[in-house]
Structure 1
Amino acid sequence: MAKIFITGSADGLGQLSANALVNQGHDVVLHARNAARGREALKKVEGASHVLTGDLSSMEETKNLADQVNALGVFDAVIHNAGVYQTAAKEIFAINTIAPYLLTCLIQKPKRLVYLSSGMHLQGRANLDSFKTNINRISYSDSKLHVLMLCMAVAHEWTGVYSNAVDPGWVPTRMGGQGAPDDLEKGYETQTWLAVSDDDHAKVNGRYLYHRKEKRHNPEADDVMLRERFLKVCHEVTGIPFPRR
């Protein structure tokens, strides 16, 4: 039995992943934006052991969430599922870029890290100069490139941790819309597989996967110097340094 924490698991792919992992017999800890959503999440994921709350648009609440996670001990896997799409650039930057950076830095290192990116990251640019000057220029596609850059940085820097990113596809969730064409089940099974499977194909590092298969990704994520700048700017914005090895 693995111990897994999933951000953004009050609905959508996060909730589906949580239910799948609970049904496999794992110890799953949920996350919701606030207490009311947390109570609803526990009703929808029967068998989850805890729900933790924190608004990822707030750096202070995100830091507090990391403290809550650490109070429960070391996890086998953390799935960074939370994300927003059609909202203000400030919120996209806070939730999609800064929150996973902070949680990665502050949560005790798990054995496995899974980050949800998006096929839209291919149109993204690192846009690092905007982090401190004009975050309104940061798009959803940019933020999902940042997620992949963070994943690749962890894979490069941390030994003994499997760090991978997933494109869940365009699936019919509240975010994706009911007309989304991709398979909903396949949309969440890759991250659950990466989090717990003993399959050698799941024990990989620094990969970008779609439906359990490696997929072409934005080459900016492979640029080590660009990733270093990304980590440096995130440190400057948050006050939290990226922990090395």
Structure 2
Amino acid sequence: MSRVFISGSSTGLGLMAAKKLAADGHSVVLHARDAARAKDAAAALPSAEAVVTGDLETIAGARHVAEQVNEHVNERGAFDAVIHNAAVGYREPYRKTSDGLPHLFAINTLSAYILTALIHRPSRLVYLSSGMHHDADANLGDILWQQRRWNGATAYAESKLHDTLLAFAIAKRWPDVLSNALEPGWVPTRMGGPGAPDDMQQAHLTQAWLATSDDPRARVSGEYFYHLKRMAANPQAHDPVLQRRLLETCAELSGVEVPPA
């Protein structure tokens, strides 16, 4: 059986994936933004190995979460998989974090980068993207929205393209790690809204499958999935120049470097 860490797993799809993994006999470490959410998460999944706590909107907070995850690595060995699930949605207004970064970018893009760079390398990495990424432009020249008027839906779509770029960049950089991205569908979570039309019962299955399955279809890297099937990602996600620029930009903003192979 596998050990899996899931960011942003106190509610929603992260918690659903955690419950699926636990039901299948895997060991899961949850993550919550604060102590109150951590208590709720532990109550929702009493079999969880642990709940780490920290707010991913700040660089220091993301570092602290990585440190806590690595403490579990030191105690019990490396995680088999990390699922990068934490995100805020497309209704997000423009506001800056204490680091001076757009809140949506800080959580959806930068925290996934920091956790990837700092958590002891697992065997598999899974990044949650979105169907909205297909029509997005990476806009790495204005990743912090300093030159454009804020649009939450566009910023969200860009962040999910960034997550896919990150997944594919890591697949190339770390050939010993299976690194993939997926879209769970537009489902009626708190983020998706009550009118979302996609199947909630399917939304959490692909990430759990990619994290643990021995199915040869899941034991691939640098691929994009929807409901257990490969599908084409936004072509920009495969661009090595954009991949490199995203890694360099996130490293400059965070002061954290992704280790080499």
Kept after mapping to 2: 8 A contact 1:131/1:237: no
Q: Which amino acid in 2 is paired with 1:20?
A: K
- Paired residues, number: 245
| Partner SS for 2:125 | strand
TM-score, reference length from structure 2: 0.91
Kept after mapping to 1: 8 A contact 2:87/2:107: yes
2:104 to 54, 71, 92: 92
Partner of 2:23: 23
| Partner SS for 1:235 | helix
Q: Which amino acid in 2 is paired with 1:83?
A: A
| Partner SS for 1:184 | coil
1:218 to 219, 234, 246: 234
> What is the CA distance between 1:61 and its match in structure 2?
0.7
> What is the CA distance between 1:46 and its match in structure 2?
2.2
Q: Which amino acid in 2 is paired with 1:57?
A: E
Q: Residue by residue, what CA displacement relative to the aligned partner does 1:186-216 show, whole Å, maximum 9, x if unpaired?
A: 1100000001101111101011100011112
Partner of 2:99: none
Q: Residue by residue, what CA displacement relative to the aligned partner does 1:155-199 show, whole Å, maximum 9, x if unpaired?
A: 111021100001000011111122211111211000000011011
1:111 maps to 2:127: no
Kept after mapping to 1: 8 A contact 2:52/2:68: yes
Partner of 2:185: 169
Partner of 1:82: 86
1:128 maps to 2:132: no
Instruction: List aligned pairs for 1:143-182, cutoff 5 A.
Output: 143-182=159-198
1:233 maps to 2:249: yes
5+ residue gaps, structure 1, are none
**Once the two structures are aligned, what percentage of the paired residues are identical?**
49
> What is the CA distance between 1:10 and its match in structure 2?
0.6
Q: Which amino acid in 1 is paired with 2:92?
A: T
5+ residue gaps, structure 2, are 95-101
> What is the CA distance between 1:133 and its match in structure 2?
6.8
